[in-house]
Amino acid sequence: MPPPQRYLTPLQARIEQWFADRGHQPFGFQREVWQAMLKARSGLLHAGTGSGKTLACWLGALQVCERQEASIRTGKGARKQTERSAELKVLWITPMRALAQDSFRALQSSAADLCPDWTVQTRTGDTQASVRTRQAKAWPDALVTTPESLSLMLTQANAQTRLSRIAVVIVDEWHELVGSKRGVQVQLALARLTRWNPKLLVWGMSATLGNLEHALEALLPDAIASTNSTTDTAGRSCLISAPGFQTARTSRSTRATSSTGRTIDSNCSKTPIIDVMLPASLPRFAWSGQMGYAMAGVLAQRIRAATSSLVFVNTRAQTERWYQALLEADPSLAGLIALHHGSLDASVRQWVEQGIRNGSLKAVVCTSSLDLGVDFTAVEQVFQIGSCKGVARLLQRAGRSGHSPDGQPRIGLVPTHALEALEAVAAHDAVQAYAIEARQSPLAPMDVMVQHLVTVGLGGGFEPQALYDEIRQTWAYRHLDKQAWAWALAFVTTGGESLGAYPDYQRVVRGVRGVRDVPDVSDVPSSTQTGLQTLWRVTDRRLALRHRLNIGTIVSDAMMQIRFWTRKAGGAALGQIEEGFVARLKPGECFVFGGRVFELVRVQDMTVYVRRVQASRAAMPRWEGGSMPLSGELSQAMARRLAQYADLNREHQTDNHHTDVHADEPGTTEPEAERHIVCTPDQAWHALRPLLATQHEMTGLPSHERLLIEQMRSREGWHWFIYPMAGRRVHLALASLLAWRLAKKSPRTFSVSVNDYGLELLCNQPLDAQQHLTPDLFDESRLVSDLQASVNASELAQRRFREIARISGLVFQGFPGQKKSARQVQASSQLFYKVFEAYDPDNRLLHQAMQEVLTLEFDLPGLSSVLTRIRDQPFVATSTSKPTPFGFGLVVQRLSQRLSSEKLADRVTRMLREAGALQEVEQMPDHSGSSGPDSNGHRQSRSGPSGKRRRSMRTRKTPRTKTIDRVQD
């Protein structure tokens, strides 16, 4: 209920009327946020996409600023009623530039009605230089920015003067930031702003998180929350969660700890409706990309029938492929559909976003560039090509439809192979149970802290002890010890033990000489000189410029700008493309970008010049970083479904004959030929019956209660198929570890293949589970050392060090127009790695690189958890003469990476015939020797004499072992 009119401030009265004019009233959780903010409490708001989070925090911030303005007018030295302060009052932080533009429109629209004299602007990488120049002279009232732009603002010499009057900071989509170095960057920036203004209010907004308490702690450490108020609620951060969106774990914890958070009731539960789009008959054997673009025609029909649609894919390369597939399926969609991904030019992205808003476009094929809160109220339906690989990602993308408090989100899942249909069913189960993935903040990344030290040195300088205390207020660095702090100071001032002879790495110096905004020491009173000389600052203008150009923690593969070719100068910009892809093209060759075919004219100064052509065949760009592993929550949901099927079969077995346990299930009684192509998750579960029955009859179903191991002998050698159901990264590490430990016992060679469901070990010598599968293979006592040896961790650490070297400022990527190539950057980072390894082995950046390899590349915590589970499980080793439905995909995955005179499609067809799957042979899509892409956008490579074999890392050789080839998707 709204408060009585006589107790409302003028702004609050306008807010109540503003809602009433639109036929709404504020939700309970929105009023709760406003009350908490007016009590000077910071907090975290957790509610679903489109539920009204933006208005909750924005209108609360307006009320806080109204109160502060009123107190200034009535206090000592009060201003006149018509005077307004010119300081920046509200800082709105978003993780993406596209989201920044959308947030700007939302804030500006409501501010125009409620506070007409307020100005709202953006400051991101897309902001024009003229706008930034005006902001340098006078801030707007509210500024929408990104973490990188905020760090750039902190490098201004007068940063404290210009930013110390901020009243409220709001961090949008905190769930996307908290688990990355960008989240640590935000933590450090908030600690800086809070030191300048102890009364600063900080609020985060989140839609999909499984560990809200940790997210709250990372955003608002106790030291920050305790300084925000002098009322009886001081020192208590506020967790407000609308129960329609909270996880089951969060629901229990927030009710149990009401002293630190509250759960507010809401009438807007928005669990999405999930549809599954399947072919009329689901194959019994699955492999990545087996369905190809078979569903493109049906998808095009549904796009044609709807007002507006978003088609999500998992990689940028897939946007190009599915855009072309939809046009081939329905040429009349030309001009009505577009594509959107981060490599397109900003003007193109903005044109696409506006087209979906005003209805001129019926559909957009997009990546995650559009799944973060971009407000497309008009979107009628959302599709996901392949698996989302995570529950949080599914909820985020589903929320693009029905994006309003009274809207109902709906998403259609389009599996690219049969087992992804099982993932779709499991995802529905996980959504119903609110089993959302947890995201953990990185712990004390030294590269981010080194960058922050230089940033603060530029932004007015720092006193070491005061900055140490400030940084320790953040969650990420709460346990930072004096030794690590001393190392970081030495690294930015002298370059550490190995770079002391190079001035470029002596970035921070003590004292004030040479700083433009500080007078000469001789002109400063002696009483002030002492304090000034204790400050540590960046004095070299060239190093300052390099740092500002290098700031941030986003490290992508080297990208080259694409422009139209003109004889005089470069034409219009089209976007960016990966350098490695362009390196394989020759002038005159064609490629697809942004849905159009271009001919390469020339490459000069990291710019690709092209001309538009009409061509029937062209190369498809490739971008790295697209493989997403199956999340733990989704894999557990899959394991529960498989266990359910196995239990029902055991209950219904009669006289050793299989019984159809789904015959009486509601909604699954249609004849096979009449099954709808768009079905519910229950119907999709029924469609999986032939696959599951075949797997169950051959060797059994994978389970988290027992470890299924299939043994097979073929002309290639001896195979083990193991199904931990733990995701691609864990399986990759486990396969390498097992192969290494088996090879140490007796010299042998292994080929390894992995996917999200299991792994395959192929050996050229007899491999018997009863003899070789011993408990010591899963021992955790030597886990780290054996894992490092099995995958040649030193080589992987060098690759990871490239990112660390860039963030810490060791490697400079070049000035605008003079960018270094990826090969140059990699060579520079490798040189630093080898120098540190030889002359500074205790360098903390080296240790960080190795730690990131273990945690990010191989998910060491997940691997340790799986090994613990396997150690306590019974092993079920069964023999089979041919691959099972689950093992078939692992075999095809390995074969797709081999050189052979036999086409992959022909080999798969022969394998299906040998397995007796004649129906699947007839249903195989014709892709001219190459199947379609899987959900991660990887096209199965063509096998043949001209094919290129993609190799990944090799294990380190020892006198007792041979090389282990590892095949990864």
By residue range, what is the domain housing residue 567? 559-612
What integer is the mean pLDDT of 574-581?
Answer: 73
What is residue 525's predicted lDDT score, i.e. its pLDDT? 44
What is residue 91's predicted lDDT score, i.e. its pLDDT? 98
Question: Are 195 and 312 found together in one domain?
Answer: no
Q: Does residue 643 form part of some domain?
A: no
Question: Are 386 and 313 found together in one domain?
Answer: yes
pLDDT higher than 50, residue 902: yes
pLDDT higher than 70, residue 952: no
Q: pLDDT by residue (tens digit) across 139-195? A: 999 999 999 999 999 999 999 999 999 999 999 999 999 999 999 999 999 999 999
pLDDT higher than 90, residue 17: yes
Q: Does residue 5 form part of some domain?
A: no
Q: Does residue 870 form part of some domain?
A: yes
On whether the CB atoms of residues 731 and 755 are closer than 8 A, the answer is yes
Please provide the average confidence, as pLDDT, over all residues in the chain: 80
Question: Are 153 and 18 found together in one domain?
Answer: yes
Confidence of residue 680 (pLDDT cuts 50, 70, 90): very high
pLDDT higher than 60, residue 748: yes
What is residue 126's predicted lDDT score, i.e. its pLDDT? 79
Question: Are 895 and 854 found together in one domain?
Answer: yes
Q: Does residue 1 form part of some domain?
A: no
Q: Does residue 100 form part of some domain?
A: yes
Domain boundary among 866, 885, 912: 912
What is residue 61's predicted lDDT score, i.e. its pLDDT? 96
Length reported for the chain: 969
- The pTM score is 0.81
Alpha-carbon span 184 to 449, nearest angstrom = 9
Containing 56, the helix (H) or strand (E) segment is: helix 53-74
Confidence of residue 402 (pLDDT cuts 50, 70, 90): confident
Q: pLDDT by residue (tens digit) across 821-866? A: 655 666 788 889 999 999 999 999 999 999 999 998 888 999 999 9
Q: Does residue 748 form part of some domain?
A: yes
pLDDT higher than 50, residue 220: yes
What integer is the mean pLDDT of 690-708?
Answer: 91
Confidence of residue 734 (pLDDT cuts 50, 70, 90): very high
Alpha-carbon span 375 to 354, nearest angstrom = 11
Domain boundary among 583, 612, 641: 612
Angle at 42 between CA 182 and CA 145, to 5 degrees: 40
What is residue 80's predicted lDDT score, i.e. its pLDDT? 55
Question: Are 296 and 363 found together in one domain?
Answer: yes
What is residue 856's predicted lDDT score, i.e. its pLDDT? 86
Task: Judge residue 440's burial from the number of C-beta atoms within 10 Å of its C-beta, 0-12 exposed, 13-18 middle, 19 or more buried.
Answer: middle
- DSSP lists the bridge partners of residue 204 as 44, 171
What integer is the mean pLDDT of 939-949?
Answer: 36
Q: Does residue 625 form part of some domain?
A: no
Question: Are 300 and 400 found together in one domain?
Answer: yes
Q: pLDDT by residue (tens digit) across 500-542? A: 889 999 999 986 543 433 333 334 344 444 444 578 999 999 9
Structure-model confidence comparison of residues 131 and 963, the more confident one: 131
On whether the CB atoms of residues 748 and 763 are closer than 8 A, the answer is yes
Q: Which two tokens stand for residue 331?
A: 């040429």
Confidence of residue 658 (pLDDT cuts 50, 70, 90): very low
What is residue 377's predicted lDDT score, i.e. its pLDDT? 59
Cα dihedral sign, 173-108-228-27: negative
Question: Are 761 and 896 found together in one domain?
Answer: yes
What is residue 356's predicted lDDT score, i.e. its pLDDT? 83
Question: Are 104 and 180 found together in one domain?
Answer: yes
Q: Which two tokens stand for residue 483?
A: 């030794």
What is residue 405's predicted lDDT score, i.e. its pLDDT? 66
What is residue 567's predicted lDDT score, i.e. its pLDDT? 74
What is residue 252's predicted lDDT score, i.e. its pLDDT? 33
Alpha-carbon span 416 to 288, nearest angstrom = 7
What integer is the mean pLDDT of 932-957?
Answer: 40
Integer Rg of the chain from CA: 29
Q: Which two tokens stand for residue 342?
A: 């981060």
Question: Are 420 and 487 found together in one domain?
Answer: no
Structure-model confidence comparison of residues 36 and 234, the more confident one: 36
Question: Are 595 and 740 found together in one domain?
Answer: no
Question: Are 122 and 214 found together in one domain?
Answer: yes
Q: pLDDT by residue (tens digit) across 470-481? A: 999 999 999 999
What integer is the mean pLDDT of 432-437?
Answer: 89
For 635: left if phi > 0, alpha if psi spans -120 to 50, otherwise beta; the answer is alpha
- In total, how many domains does the chain have? 5
Structure-model confidence comparison of residues 18 and 776, the more confident one: 18
Structure-model confidence comparison of residues 967 and 288, the more confident one: 288
What integer is the mean pLDDT of 434-453?
Answer: 94
User: Which of these ranges, 275-279, 304-308, 521-525, 695-699, has the smallest mean pLDDT?
Assistant: 521-525
Confidence of residue 102 (pLDDT cuts 50, 70, 90): confident
What is residue 713's predicted lDDT score, i.e. its pLDDT? 93
Domain boundary among 612, 635, 656: 612
SS3 at position 143:
strand
Distances from the Cα of 404 to the Cα of 367, 375, 398, 649, 819, angstroms: 22, 9, 12, 44, 43
pLDDT higher than 70, residue 933: no
What is residue 790's predicted lDDT score, i.e. its pLDDT? 84
Confidence of residue 269 (pLDDT cuts 50, 70, 90): low
Alpha-carbon span 524 to 541, nearest angstrom = 23
- The residue ranges of DSSP E strands in 850-909, in sequence order, are 875-879
Alpha-carbon span 864 to 859, nearest angstrom = 9
CATH of the domain at 157: 3.40.50.300
Q: Does residue 936 form part of some domain?
A: no
What is residue 615's predicted lDDT score, i.e. its pLDDT? 64
Confidence of residue 556 (pLDDT cuts 50, 70, 90): low
Confidence of residue 799 (pLDDT cuts 50, 70, 90): confident
Question: Are 427 and 486 found together in one domain?
Answer: no
Could you tell me which residues come within 8 angstroms of residue 511 by beta carbon, excluding any fewer than 6 positions away?
521, 532, 533, 535, 537
pLDDT higher than 60, residue 671: no
Structure-model confidence comparison of residues 525 and 89, the more confident one: 89
